[in-house]
Amino acid sequence: MDVAKLKMMVNQIDQNIPFAGVKSDVIATHLKKFWTPQMRADIFKDVQASPDNYSSDVREAVAKLHNEAKA
């Protein structure tokens, strides 16, 4: 899948998602709920490759999902 698009999507979620509590948890839940495992894996790779393109919340969220998937 086109990583540029995933990047755009996750950053849009980061900008818009309403949250109460820990934002990275809320983002992680959203991605878990609506994204395919492949999309989550792809975005993880891109976050690893160019972390500067993402906010700390996104980075944390993606990392959490990655760890969860490994576990």
Distances (CA, A) of 25 to 2, 14, 19, 53, 63: 25, 11, 9, 19, 11
Assess 48 for contact with another protein (CB under 8 A): no
Q: Which amino acid is at 34?
A: F
Q: Which two tokens stand for residue 57?
A: 């919340």
Of 25, 26, 30, 53, the residue at the interface with another protein (CB under 8 A) is 30
Rule CB under 8 A: choose which of 22, 23, 27, 36 binds another protein.
36
Least CB distance to another protein at residue 5 (A): 6
| Per CB under 8 A, 12 contacts another protein | yes
